[in-house]
């Protein structure tokens, strides 16, 4: 009997140990599974970050490579320009220098003729070379050679030659001949296809360098062209193109993102991207106002002599590169745009498309005015000319500004929301808060109440899931004890009670320990979730306060729109330059103002 009791007792203990070992193994496997899930989630996050870093590296490497290729191309193109057209520079440097040499009488006529003839041989197709021979023969009183040279220069470039001699005659005080050449030049022009040299005309208007007669001729011609091109339906696309160019200029004044000013709002609001764009649009108004106040306030220091003013125009005319150079100049400008944009070819292409009008062989009068206003360096005009051109373009400027203002005002979100969704790990268990969205159109107290209830509802369910199911876990213990009593009780009731008590007590102690561990885990989970809930509420309040600040700053920035509109309207006053050379003419060689 004792042997049977001992055997049963040993078997029961073995079964109990195996059950405990199995339960421990199950718990271990469960923890390992949770750990693997956490590791997988971490690995996924790291892989996503690695992928993002790799893509950023590839993008940066591509941009650096494209920028380096563009820099290399810039050097190559400049070398080609110097090689193919570098000899033109010498002719250009000689042109105005020759006129100034005539003023002071320090160069002999033979030297001037020799130099001009050498340049004619070195630059067989360049229009300025025969023009210099004409000047030299004019100085030497050789009318036959002068006439032949003028005809040759005119054959090579009628527009530039006409303008060149109009300026030379104006410089020498021969107003009648200057105006005659100027009229000849203007009558030959098509306002829909002006040559690049027409920038000199805009510069002359800014400085009044052609005197009273030339001023009246220019004013009448330019006003007639403007009216014709503005009224004809066929030119609506051209006008729309000018409006788009002004819109690009306004968009280019946008300030950077304001995310640093509103970090909470940027973090929790799905509408932040729209809010950021709208605020940037409103703040552009102040930048626009400051920029064009400076343009209006700019007054160039006038030359003290009319000869100096005309010399500046001659420099502009002869330094303007010819049509043959345009393809290389375009390639050079595009490569420079790529370098400016750090190798970003699409961004460079977008900027280049807005500048392309400055590199066309011919351009309409409206486009030329816009180019002078927006990119004076591209056609080589002064800031004073740019100021006057800005006034002439005020209608397109006004349209672009009105559309810009309308677009960002329409884009103001009608409903700004806050969205919260987060993940937390307690022990080996993960908690993901389902997404909560609330509208700031509702009172903040309601939003806080709703968010708190959302956290409490899902947090409580998570904490409850961490509880140890004591009743369910007691069932196997009760069954085992009952089996022990049933199997052993038939042989010995006392042994059955002893064995059942040992099994039940051991099992119960393990269940109590696991229940205690579960309660500790629940306590930790409550603490983690309470902190997360408090942080969410804090972010909600901060985002609400930042939205209030955003509205105030948007209203302040948007108020500047009226001042911008008034400034654009006032640009009409810039078209009357009041040049000091309006009615002047040179009285004699070396005459001063």
pLDDT for the residue numbered 34: 58
Is residue 417 pLDDT above 90, yes or no?
A: yes
Same structural domain, 392 and 449? no
pLDDT for the residue numbered 577: 45
% pLDDT > 90, the chain:
19
Nearest Cα to 401, choosing from 280, 296, 284? 284
pLDDT for the residue numbered 400: 94
Nearest Cα to 22, choosing from 528, 421, 507, 423? 507
CB 187 within 8 A of CB 163: no
pLDDT for the residue numbered 581: 38
> CA–CA separation, 243 vs 249, rounded Å?
10
Least confident of 108-122, 144-158, 571-585: 571-585
pLDDT for the residue numbered 211: 75
> CA–CA separation, 367 vs 355, rounded Å?
11
pLDDT, tens digit (0-9, with 9 covering 90-100), for 195-211: 777 888 878 777 777 77
Taking the CB of residue 148, how many other CB atoms lie within 10 A of it? 15
The C-alpha angle with vertex 326 and arms to 241 and 190, in degrees rounded to 5, equals 55
Q: Model confidence at 159, in pLDDT bands (50, 70, 90)? A: confident
Is residue 221 pLDDT above 60, yes or no?
A: yes
Answer whether residue 39 is part of any domain: no
CB 572 within 8 A of CB 394: yes
What is the pLDDT averaged over residues 7-29? 62
What is the pLDDT averaged over residues 270-293? 94
> CA–CA separation, 8 vs 490, rounded Å?
12
Beta strands in 377-441 (DSSP E): 417-420, 423-426, 429-432, 436-439
Answer whether residue 103 is part of any domain: no
Least confident of 21-25, 464-468, 526-530, 558-562: 21-25
Answer whether residue 360 is part of any domain: yes
* Residues linked to residue 183 through DSSP beta bridges, in sequence order: none
DSSP-assigned letters across all residues of 448-461:
HHHHHHHHHHHHHH
* 210: containing domain: 157-409
Same structural domain, 402 and 456? no
Is residue 399 pLDDT above 90, yes or no?
A: yes
pLDDT for the residue numbered 160: 83
Per DSSP, helices labelled H in 105-189 are: 109-122, 128-139, 143-156, 158-171, 175-187
Mention every residue, 6+ apart, whose C-beta is less than 8 A from residue 537: 448, 451, 452
> CA–CA separation, 380 vs 359, rounded Å?
12
* Residues linked to residue 213 through DSSP beta bridges, in sequence order: none
Same structural domain, 163 and 236? yes
What is the pLDDT averaged over residues 85-98? 70
Report the DSSP pairing between strands 429-432 and 423-426. antiparallel
Is residue 39 pLDDT above 80, yes or no?
A: no
Same structural domain, 448 and 553? yes
Same structural domain, 364 and 448? no
DSSP state of 302: P
Same structural domain, 395 and 454? no
Is residue 343 pLDDT above 90, yes or no?
A: no
Is residue 587 pLDDT above 50, yes or no?
A: no
Q: Model confidence at 405, in pLDDT bands (50, 70, 90)? A: very high
Nearest Cα to 128, choosing from 119, 141, 139, 140? 119
The token duo for 329 is 């100049």
Is residue 222 pLDDT above 80, yes or no?
A: yes
What is the pLDDT averaged over residues 349-358? 64
The token duo for 381 is 């005009």
> CA–CA separation, 171 vs 95, rounded Å?
13
Is residue 22 pLDDT above 80, yes or no?
A: no
Helices 128-139 and 143-156, axial angle in degrees (round to 10): 160
CB 387 within 8 A of CB 295: yes
Least confident of 88-92, 199-203, 219-223: 88-92
Q: Work out the mean pLDDT of the chain and round it to a whole number.
A: 78
Nearest Cα to 170, choosing from 218, 129, 125? 218
What is the pLDDT averaged over residues 563-568? 93
pTM surpassing 0.85? no
- CA R_g for the chain: 43
Is residue 503 pLDDT above 80, yes or no?
A: no
> CA–CA separation, 240 vs 250, rounded Å?
15
- Which 3 state secondary structure label does DSSP give 467? coil
Answer whether residue 228 is part of any domain: yes
pLDDT for the residue numbered 593: 27
Domain end, chosen from 356, 390, 409, is at 409
pLDDT, tens digit (0-9, with 9 covering 90-100), for 463-493: 777 777 666 666 676 676 677 666 666 666 6
529-532 contacts, C-beta under 8 A, 24 or more apart: 529/424, 529/431, 529/455, 529/459, 529/462, 529/463, 532/422, 532/424, 532/433, 532/455
Answer whether residue 147 is part of any domain: no
Same structural domain, 386 and 534? no
The token duo for 346 is 């699409």
Is residue 542 pLDDT above 80, yes or no?
A: yes
> CA–CA separation, 190 vs 441, rounded Å?
59
- Which 3 state secondary structure label does DSSP give 395? helix
Report the DSSP pairing between strands 429-432 and 362-363. unpaired
> CA–CA separation, 537 vs 53, rounded Å?
33
> CA–CA separation, 73 vs 328, rounded Å?
11
- In the Cβ-directed half-sphere of 103, how many Cα atoms lie within 13 Å? 17
Backbone angles phi, psi at 194, to 5 degrees: -85, 145
Q: What is the dihedral of CA 339, 340, 345, 346, to 10 degrees?
A: 180
Is residue 549 pLDDT above 50, yes or no?
A: yes
Maximum pairwise Cα distance, the chain: 152
> CA–CA separation, 488 vs 495, rounded Å?
7
> CA–CA separation, 140 vs 149, rounded Å?
13
Same structural domain, 327 and 466? no
What is the pLDDT averaged over residues 278-289? 95
pLDDT, tens digit (0-9, with 9 covering 90-100), for 54-84: 887 888 888 888 888 888 888 887 777 766 6
Same structural domain, 185 and 286? yes
Is residue 27 pLDDT above 50, yes or no?
A: yes
Same structural domain, 344 and 218? yes
The token duo for 233 is 């339906």
Q: Which tops the pLDDT comparison, 367 or 32?
A: 367
> CA–CA separation, 415 vs 404, rounded Å?
22
pLDDT for the residue numbered 556: 95
Answer whether residue 19 is part of any domain: no
Same structural domain, 528 and 475? yes
Answer whether residue 337 is part of any domain: yes
Q: Which tops the pLDDT comparison, 498 or 592?
A: 498
pLDDT for the residue numbered 4: 46
Is residue 412 pLDDT above 80, yes or no?
A: yes
How many domains is the chain partitioned into structurally?
Answer: 2
Domain end, chosen from 390, 409, 428, is at 409
Q: How far is CA 182 from CA 219, 349, 580, in A?
A: 12, 38, 20
Answer whether residue 101 is part of any domain: no
Same structural domain, 334 and 391? yes
Element (H, E) at 195: strand 194-195
Q: What distance, in Å, lies between the first and last C-alpha atoms of the chain?
A: 141
* Residues linked to residue 195 through DSSP beta bridges, in sequence order: 362
Element (H, E) at 413: none
CB 391 within 8 A of CB 575: yes
Least confident of 115-129, 460-474, 537-551, 571-585: 571-585
């Amino acid at each position: 009997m004792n042997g049977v009791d001992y055997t049963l007792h040993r078997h029961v203990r073995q079964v109990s140990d195996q059950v405990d070992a199995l339960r421990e193994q199950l718990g271990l496997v469960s923890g390992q599974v949770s750990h693997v899930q956490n590791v997988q989630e971490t690995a996924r996050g790291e892989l996503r970050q690695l992928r993002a870093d790799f893509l950023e590296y590839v993008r940066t490497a591509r941009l650096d490579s494209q920028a380096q290729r563009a820099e290399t191309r810039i050097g190559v193109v400049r070398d080609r320009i110097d090689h193919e057209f570098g000899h033109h520079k010498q002719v250009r440097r000689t042109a105005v220098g020759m006129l100034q040499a005539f003023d002071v009488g320090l160069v002999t006529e033979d030297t001037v003729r020799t130099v001009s003839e050498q340049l004619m041989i070195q630059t067989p197709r360049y229009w300025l070379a025969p023009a210099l021979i004409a000047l030299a023969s004019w100085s030497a009183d050789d009318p036959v050679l002068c006439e032949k040279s003028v005809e040759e220069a005119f054959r090579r470039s009628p527009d530039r030659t006409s303008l060149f001699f109009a300026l030379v005659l104006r410089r020498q005080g021969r107003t009648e001949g200057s105006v005659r050449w100027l009229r000849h030049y203007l009558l030959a022009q098509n306002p829909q296809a002006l040559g690049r040299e027409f920038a000199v005309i805009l510069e002359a208007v800014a400085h009044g360098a052609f005197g009273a007669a030339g001023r009246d001729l220019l004013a009448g011609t330019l006003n007639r062209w403007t009216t014709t091109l503005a009224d004809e339906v066929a030119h609506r696309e051209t006008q729309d193109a000018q409006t788009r160019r002004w819109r690009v200029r306004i968009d280019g004044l946008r300030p950077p993102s304001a995310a640093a000013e509103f970090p909470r709002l940027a973090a929790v609001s799905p509408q932040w991207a729209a809010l950021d764009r709208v605020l940037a649009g409103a703040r552009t108004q102040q930048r626009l106002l400051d920029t064009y106040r400076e343009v209006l306030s700019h007054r160039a220091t006038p030359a003290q002599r009319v000869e100096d003013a005309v010399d500046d125009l001659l420099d502009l005319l002869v330094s303007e590169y010819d049509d043959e150079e345009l393809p290389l100049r375009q390639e050079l400008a595009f490569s420079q745009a790529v370098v400016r944009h750090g190798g970003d070819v699409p961004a460079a292409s977008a900027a280049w498309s807005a500048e392309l009008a400055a590199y066309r062989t011919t351009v309409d009068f409206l486009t030329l005015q816009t180019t002078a206003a927006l990119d004076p360096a591209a056609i080589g005009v002064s800031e004073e000319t740019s100021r006057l051109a800005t006034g002439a373009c005020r209608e397109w400027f006004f349209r672009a500004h009105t559309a810009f203002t309308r677009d960002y005002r329409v884009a103001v979100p009608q409903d700004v929301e806050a969205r919260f969704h987060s993940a937390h790990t307690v022990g080996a268990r993960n908690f993901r808060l389902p997404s909560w969205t609330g509208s700031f159109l509702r009172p903040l107290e309601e939003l806080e109440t709703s968010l708190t209830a959302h956290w409490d509802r899902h947090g409580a369910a998570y904490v409850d899931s961490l509880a140890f199911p004591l009743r369910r876990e007691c069932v196997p213990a009760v069954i085992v004890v009952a089996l022990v009593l049933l199997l052993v009780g038939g042989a010995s009731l006392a042994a059955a009670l002893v064995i059942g008590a040992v099994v039940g007590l051991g099992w119960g102690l393990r269940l109590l320990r696991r229940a205690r561990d579960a309660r500790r885990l629940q306590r930790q989970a409550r603490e983690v979730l309470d902190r997360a809930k408090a942080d969410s509420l804090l972010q909600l309040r901060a985002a609400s306060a930042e939205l209030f600040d955003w509205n105030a700053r948007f209203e302040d920035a948007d108020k500047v729109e009226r001042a911008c509109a008034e400034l654009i309207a006032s640009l009409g006053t810039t078209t009357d330059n009041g040049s000091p050379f309006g009615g002047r003419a040179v009285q004699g060689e070396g005459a001063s103002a």
